[in-house]
Structures are given as C-alpha cells and as structure tokens.
Amino acid sequence: MIIKDLGTVTGKMLVMGGIYSNLQALNAFLAQPDAHDVAADHIICTGDIVAYCADARACAEHVRDLGIVTIAGNCERQIAAGADDCGCGFENAPTCSLLSRGWYAHALDQTTVGLRHWMADLPDWITFIHRDKRYVVVHGGASDISKFVWPTVNDADIRAELALINQEIGRVDCVLASHTGIVMDRTVDGVRWYNSGALGMPAHAGKQTTSYAVIDDDIETHDLVYDAQAAHDAMVAVGLVQGYHDSLLSGYWPSEESLPPELHR
Ligand SMILES: [Fe+2]
C-alpha cells in the first residue's frame, strides 16, 4: 500500500470526490470562487477521476498536470492494471455491471500509457495535519478500496474501518472518503467520517447539482452548479447512452439497486 504524507497544511483546502470523467464539472469547480485563492496542492481528490462520463483522458491529464493532490480510486487502479472491469464491488447489481461495460471500456480506451503509469503510482491513502487535526484520505474504506460506506451504515461498521486505520497509521481525527458518490458526515468515537459526494455525478436525489467540500475552520459541503447539459451532450457524442447520461440531467441513477433500500427514491 502506498501512503503519502503531506505534513502540515495551512490555509483553506478543497475536497472533491469522484470526477467520473466529467470535464464540464471539473472545469466549473476549478473556476468557481471557492477555488480562486486555493493552490492545486491544497485541492484533494478522493479518487475515481475517471468513470461514467465522456472525458476520461482530459480529466486525468488536468488533475495530473495541475498538480492536484489525489489518491487512486478503484477506477484508477483497474485502468492502471488494464483490467476488464471497474472493480467497483457492485457484483450484486446487474444493471450497474451491465452499464459499466459501456463507460469503463470508453475510459480504458481513452487512457494513454503515460496516464496508466501515473495512475499506478498514485497513493492509496494520503495523510496530513490541518489546524491541529490529523486527516487520512481513503477511497472506499480501509478494509477495501471499493468498500461502500453509505450514509446508512451503522456505527459498528465505521468503527471496524477506523480500527484498521488506527492499526496502520495510528489515530486520526477525520477520514475523508468517497466511492459511494453520496454526501456523508458522521462522527464515531470522536472520529469524523466525511464524504463530500461526487463532483462528476449528482447524488441519487433528483437534482443536477453535484458537490464538493471546503476545509477551513470546519468541513463544509458546497453544491456545484455546472453545465450538466453540455456534459450530457458530450456523453451522447461518444456513444455513452446507456443511462448515466440521463442521470446528469435527472439526478437519478439508472442503477438504483446498487444503493441501500433507504436511499432508493
Ligand atoms: Fe470508486
């Protein structure tokens, strides 16, 4: 496992979850006022730079070339390995598996050899200290890069993940995780488990806006308004019309079965 330590970071930081190959969302995020006075090395991506949308290559090149700090998501790990599926852990969700054959193949096809090498070298976890609090950034969970820590999970499951983190790197005050694409903010035994949601796909809640987080005195979730129609049209133009293109506009996923029942519409 690759763990990268950033040391002590001062000043405002931004956190984005899965970009999911959504170049329109990434560009809008980088252009909005919250990002104006934040250097790229204060922007954290929690993995899955590439996934459902049209522009895997451009998104990965942006993150790499701007020097945004990122861990690998399951998508980066699978693409770096040349695997034939996204490794997301939705084996029991046939619609999701079926849909992934479309977008994953597209993302794999767009990713250059250089990007695959870059993805292979990305850390699994990142640690840093900010305002005297120790953070760790993981993708899904500590037990598995594709662990789904949904907002509905019970405290015992989070406690088990925290125990693994503690075993590996010692106590932290906050875990920044992603993979589910849904905002979550829970504190268990004094440790905060926070998920900013995805930047590149709205949560399964009927809204087009996506989300990111600002870390300053506290962690705040912010909505991102961007040109979802353009992102949708870019997907259509490259033949990604299996369902997630409509999700950008409707705010509902085509793979509801992959969600816990409490999160169904
Ligand atoms: Fe993921």
pLDDT tens-digit readout, 104-163: 999 999 999 999 999 999 999 999 999 999 999 999 999 999 999 999 999 999 999 999
Q: Do 128 and 7 meet the contact criterion of CB atoms below 8 Å apart? A: yes
Q: Measured in angstroms, how far is the CA atom of residue 72 from the centroid of ligand 1?
A: 9
Q: Measured in angstroms, how far is the CA atom of residue 132 from the centroid of ligand 1?
A: 29
In the structure, what pLDDT confidence band is assigned to residue 85 with cuts at 50, 70 and 90?
confident
Q: Measured in angstroms, how far is the CA atom of residue 218 from the centroid of ligand 1?
A: 25
Q: Measured in angstroms, how far is the CA atom of residue 74 from the centroid of ligand 1?
A: 5
How many structural domains does the chain have? 1
Residues 6 or more apart from 211 whose CB is under 8 A from it? 17, 183, 196, 197, 198, 199, 203, 221, 222, 223, 224
Residues 6 or more apart from 261 whose CB is under 8 A from it? none
Which residue range(s) make up the domain with 53?
3-263
**What does the pLDDT average to over 161-176?**
98
pLDDT of residue 8: 98
In the structure, what pLDDT confidence band is assigned to residue 87 with cuts at 50, 70 and 90?
confident
Reading the block at residue 65, the tokens are 């070339």
Q: Which of 74-83, 95-104, 162-171 has the lowest mean pLDDT?
A: 95-104
Q: Do 161 and 56 meet the contact criterion of CB atoms below 8 Å apart? A: no
In terms of Cα–Cα distance, which of 139, 133, 121 is closest to 178?
A: 139
Q: Measured in angstroms, how far is the CA atom of residue 178 from the centroid of ligand 1?
A: 7
Q: Do 48 and 138 meet the contact criterion of CB atoms below 8 Å apart? A: no
Q: Measured in angstroms, how far is the CA atom of residue 87 from the centroid of ligand 1?
A: 8
Q: Measured in angstroms, how far is the CA atom of residue 67 from the centroid of ligand 1?
A: 21
**What does the pLDDT average to over 240-261?**
93
Q: Do 234 and 214 meet the contact criterion of CB atoms below 8 Å apart? A: no
Q: Measured in angstroms, how far is the CA atom of residue 265 from the centroid of ligand 1?
A: 22
Measured distance CA(239)–CA(147) in Å, rounded: 30
Measured distance CA(61)–CA(32) in Å, rounded: 20
**In the chain, which ranges are continuous DSSP H helix?**
23-31, 56-66, 74-80, 94-110, 113-120, 155-169, 228-237, 244-250
What's the whole-model pTM score? Answer: 0.96
In terms of Cα–Cα distance, which of 120, 52, 118, 125 is closest to 81?
A: 120
Place of tokens 């992959």: 258
Residue 208 maps to which CATH number? 3.60.21.10
Total residue length of the chain: 265
Average model confidence (pLDDT) across the chain? 95
pLDDT of residue 88: 80
In terms of Cα–Cα distance, which of 178, 179, 67, 73 is closest to 119?
A: 73
Q: Measured in angstroms, how far is the CA atom of residue 60 from the centroid of ligand 1?
A: 15
Q: Measured in angstroms, how far is the CA atom of residue 166 from the centroid of ligand 1?
A: 22
Residues 6 or more apart from 46 whose CB is under 8 A from it? 15, 16, 17, 18, 70, 71, 73, 137, 138, 139, 176, 177, 178, 195, 196
Q: Measured in angstroms, how far is the CA atom of residue 139 from the centroid of ligand 1?
A: 7
Measured distance CA(243)–CA(240) in Å, rounded: 8
Q: Measured in angstroms, how far is the CA atom of residue 172 from the centroid of ligand 1?
A: 22
Please measure the distance between the N-terminal and C-terminal CA atoms of the chain and give it in whole angstroms.
37
